[in-house]
Structure 1
Amino acid sequence: MEDYAKELEASFRSIKEGDIITGTVIAVNEEGAILDLQYYAQGVIKAEDMSSDPNFNILEDVKTGDTIEATVVKTDDGEGNILLSKKEAVQVLAWDILKGYMDEKKSIQVKISEIVKAGAVAFVEGIRGFIPASQLSLTYVEDLEPWLGKQLEVRVITVDQEKNKLVLSAKAIEKEKAEAEINHKISMLAPGTILEGTVESLMPYGAFISLPEGLSGLVHISQISQRRIKKPSEVLNTGDKVKVKVLNTNDGKISLSMKAVEENTEADEMEAHQAEEYSSKEEATTSLGDLFKKLKL
């Protein structure tokens, strides 16, 4: 009954040149692939009509059971089969898919197939994509040759079908990962923590301090010194080693205070001094008491 239903359905189908149809791969060889189209005739895609990617290998990249969308080139190839082209279908369908990738900010794996002036080339959904050298990594890339054949996680950042322009970026993903790591480290900082850092830059409103774990925080000018200053350079120089106290970590930013460290130090010194005085008085009192105990009246 199932076979009869399929035949009945096929009898009502009409396939014409230019249609994009879907089929299941039932055989693959070096020359091409044969597809079951749920139709009276089978579909045939020649190897050269599969992909524009120079790294494409039909025996490795196409498997029995794969579902493929392809454009009808001829309804009869001379042997009763329907001649198809996946490359043509890609040109129609891929741009919408790529636009979706860009809108979703989807991360995709690609392999760099070519090094060109100012960047690299990788294919996505059968479309040639360009990765500018500035978008290969967070760090500056001077020599592009070692990147040939490298697998990269990228994001689609430009899709322009009219200009046949597809631009990819690995840097965008690396930047997000780095920001997430920094935000995690910041979230682990408890207010009140005392850290040692280095003055990395001075601004009219305060000083930026380089901290351990690749973090950076700001000491507002009002938190630099206990005495009133007009500008940070009155008491600080770039490269100075300083101790700072974490005030808060709101909105992924670290607010620091040098003044609070000074206040803590003074309070600790005063407490230690008072404890020492108390200890000395107690010792003196005890010694005097001992003397009276030894007196015989």
Structure 2
Amino acid sequence: MSEETKVQESAPAETITQEAMDNIVSIKKGDTVTGTIVKIDDNQVFVSLGYKYDGVIPIRELSPVQLENAAEAVQIGQEVEVKVVSIDDEKEKLVLSKRQIDSERAWDELQARFDSGEVFEVTVADVVKGGLVTDIGVRGFIPASMVERHFVEDFSDYKGRTLRVKVKEIDRENNKVILSQKEVLDEEYEQNKQKIMNSLEAGQELEGTVQRLTPFGAFVDIGGIDGLVHVSELSWEHVAHPKDLVSEGQSVRVKVLKVDPEAGKISLSMKAAQPGPWETAAGQFNTGDIVTGTVRRIVTFGAFVEIAPGVEGLVHISQLAHRHVATPHEVVQEGQEVQAKILDFNPAEKRVSLSIKETEEAPAQPEKAERAPRDRDRDRGPKIEKIDNPNVSLSNEGMSFTLAERFGDKLSKLK
């Protein structure tokens, strides 16, 4: 097979006329020609060049990325520019390459896009370990960390998607092009962020979409920028982890708590956009009701018991038990379920006074036993007999003796 052959550009099928001879051109390996796709097989494409021979593009020469079927790269009727790879006179076939032409042009175009920071669209051709592959005339690679602004665990559904990217890194010698969609999204995000933040005010209520979850809260998209709903602001009830209450993609209503343009932070609350527990409790509880609650906090002067989500009442230490209590830990423990009586309920001031001892029967007081007569006499002191003596004075308080009474006999003897 020679490196050069004579082919007819256009002539009747029967014979080569003089007119046809004038259109004879010379094709050699390495030439660039233009043709039309006329047939597509699984592993090759047939191209009509208007010449004596049709051209064939093997699937490996269609694209810089691996294809499962030639139809993924071209379609019938499409005009393509190709390079002649080889000429087979015996089989009357030209082996062509679309990939080489695309690659030569792509490098110059990609370099210009890299220098200018241009944003352009690409289609994901394949999902591989570590990222995505796209055909941009050469093989373009988008690392997993440069696909989205948030972490993506599974890229299996990204094949066929159209992404907007920038050239992050280009190395022609090593045939390496790194693309990034994240950089495009980050720039757009920052542009919109300040605009939206300037329009926000504390107290404003908005509809948002849960973007991602973390152990400390949920990031909610409120029109192109994210605000944080701290885990403590998700609900009036205790939430151990945001995933227990919300999921990514869920629509939620939030209230703006704080906007900090300098730090670029927005604090949001879901619970503040819902009726407060004290509002709900206003028609639910009354003084004198017996309620069941959970001990949430223990302090030196008593225990706080939650009787409804977000509604806590104080059981003063004096109301814990009928007996003397030195410390609340003697009677209750955190997390313990208890019954209590509402002594005072004031939802306007968000205050509830509770009593545990009022739900329990007071212990009976021990009766005083009847004492024996002997015991009674002992308690009265020594028995004193009646004395008919004007010098002796007796009273209820006790007895008193004069000197004459005590020493009278002795004095009489002295006389």
TM bucket (normalised to shorter chain) is 0.5 to 0.7
Q: CA deviation at 1:75?
A: 2.8
Per-residue CA deviations over 1:220-261 (Å, capped at 9, x if unaligned) read xxxxxxxxxxxxxxxxxxxxx7799xxxx9xx999xxxxxxx
- 2:169 corresponds to which residue? 158
SS in 2 for 1:159: strand
Structure with bigger strand share is 2
Unaligned runs of 5+ in 1: 198-211, 217-240, 255-297
TM-score, normalised to structure 2, is: 0.40
- Relative to structure 1, the CA distance from residue 194 to residue 109 in structure 2 (aligned partners, 3 Å threshold; closer, same or farther) is closer
Query: Alignment partner for residue 170 of structure 1, among 177, 181, 196?
Result: 181
Question: Does 2:128 correspond to 1:115?
Answer: yes
SS in 2 for 1:97: helix
Amino acid at match of 1:165: K
SS in 2 for 1:178: helix
SS in 2 for 1:75: strand
Alignment of 1:222-241 (within 5 A): none
Query: Alignment partner for residue 159 of structure 2, among 127, 134, 149?
Result: 149
- 1:47 corresponds to which residue? 59
SS in 1 for 2:145: helix
Alignment of 1:97-108 (within 5 A): 97-102=109-114, 103=116, 105-108=118-121
C-alpha contact (below 8 Å) 2:63/2:98 kept by paired residues: yes
- 2:46 corresponds to which residue? 34
C-alpha contact (below 8 Å) 2:57/2:98 kept by paired residues: yes
Q: CA deviation at 1:174?
A: 1.4
- Relative to structure 1, the CA distance from residue 34 to residue 104 in structure 2 (aligned partners, 3 Å threshold; closer, same or farther) is farther
Amino acid at match of 2:107: W
- Relative to structure 1, the CA distance from residue 170 to residue 8 in structure 2 (aligned partners, 3 Å threshold; closer, same or farther) is farther
C-alpha contact (below 8 Å) 1:77/1:83 kept by paired residues: no
Alignment of 1:153-232 (within 5 A): 153-155=163-165, 156-186=167-197, 189=199, 195=202
Structure with bigger helix share is 1
Amino acid at match of 1:151: R
Question: Does 2:92 correspond to 1:80?
Answer: yes
**How far apart in 1 are the matches of 2:148 and 2:66?**
24
Between 1 and 2, higher relative CO (CA 8 Å, sep ≥ 6) is seen in 1
**How far apart in 2 are the matches of 1:177 and 1:70?**
38
Identity score, percent: 25
Amino acid at match of 1:115: V
SS in 1 for 2:141: strand
**How far apart in 1 are the matches of 2:96 and 2:20?**
21
C-alpha contact (below 8 Å) 2:127/2:155 kept by paired residues: no
SS in 2 for 1:175: helix
- Relative to structure 1, the CA distance from residue 10 to residue 45 in structure 2 (aligned partners, 3 Å threshold; closer, same or farther) is farther
C-alpha contact (below 8 Å) 1:113/1:121 kept by paired residues: yes
SS in 2 for 1:90: helix
SS in 1 for 2:95: strand
SS in 1 for 2:27: coil
Unaligned runs of 5+ in 2: 1-9, 12-18, 205-221, 228-256, 265-415
C-alpha contact (below 8 Å) 1:196/1:243 kept by paired residues: no
SS in 1 for 2:26: coil
- Relative to structure 1, the CA distance from residue 7 to residue 28 in structure 2 (aligned partners, 3 Å threshold; closer, same or farther) is farther
**How far apart in 2 are the matches of 1:124 and 1:46?**
17
C-alpha contact (below 8 Å) 1:111/1:123 kept by paired residues: yes
**How far apart in 2 are the matches of 1:160 and 1:46?**
27
Question: Does 2:55 correspond to 1:58?
Answer: no
**How far apart in 2 are the matches of 1:80 and 1:180?**
59
**How far apart in 2 are the matches of 1:147 and 1:168?**
19
Aligned residues: 200
SS in 2 for 1:24: strand
C-alpha contact (below 8 Å) 1:110/1:124 kept by paired residues: yes
C-alpha contact (below 8 Å) 1:41/1:80 kept by paired residues: yes
- 1:92 corresponds to which residue? 104
Per-residue CA deviations over 1:191-237 (Å, capped at 9, x if unaligned) read xx96459xxxxxxxxxxxxxx87589xxxxxxxxxxxxxxxxxxxxx
Q: CA deviation at 1:17?
A: 0.6
Superposed CA RMSD in Å reads 3.9
**How far apart in 2 are the matches of 1:79 and 1:161?**
36
Amino acid at match of 1:65: G
Query: Alignment partner for residue 18 of structure 1, among 19, 26, 30?
Result: 30
